[in-house]
Amino acid sequence: MQLRFNANMKSLGARIKSQRELRGLTQGGLGKIVDLDQSVISKLELGDMQETTKIAQIARALKVDAYWLATGQGGKEQRSLTQEEIEWLAVHEKLGVQEKNILLKFATSLVEQPARNLGNTTFVVDRRKNPPDYHYTGPERRKQQS
């Protein structure tokens, strides 16, 4: 039975397979480039495996954008990282698991909050809690506490 993938390429496996075939690579050939066994590439393409830490390497080998390959969102064309993105990645690599989780929560809260002047804002990380917690103190919060 031959599996046919949706033309919209809604799955990670479908995106990997279509781009691999477009580049004329076998599963084994792609695996060799990214240091994965052919069976892992097969599992990814079939949807038996949904995640891999090698998305960036697979995307580079297939000459596509890693975010698009992982999510199906954004543009397919491979792009270079900006200097700011490189700096963020370098910092991220130096953090431990707890610090990465705090940073993610912090960044997510910034995205979810309405736009505001952050001039007098303080973010506090309480490492006494397990896992560490953080909270925002700024003009808006001080008014609420009064």
50-66 pLDDT per residue, tens = 777 788 889 999 999 88
Is residue 102 domain-shared with residue 63, that is, in the same domain?
Answer: no
How many angstroms separate the CA atoms of 127 and 131, rounded? 8
Question: What's 22's domain CATH number?
Answer: 1.10.260.40
Count of the separate structural domains present in the chain: 2
**What is the average pLDDT value for the chain, to the nearest integer?**
77
Q: Which two tokens stand for residue 117?
A: 């002047």
Q: Which residue range is the domain that position 124 belongs to?
A: 96-145
**How many Cα atoms are found within 13 Å in the side-chain-facing hemisphere of 127?**
2
Q: Which residue has the higher pLDDT, 59 or 124?
A: 59
**pLDDT of 41:** 96
SS3 17: helix
Residue 53 resides in a domain: yes
Residue 22 resides in a domain: yes
Residue 5 resides in a domain: no
How many angstroms separate the CA atoms of 69 and 40, rounded? 16
Number of H helices, E strands in the chain: 8, 2
Residue 19 resides in a domain: yes
Residue 90 resides in a domain: no
Residue 66 resides in a domain: yes
Q: What is the model's pTM?
A: 0.51
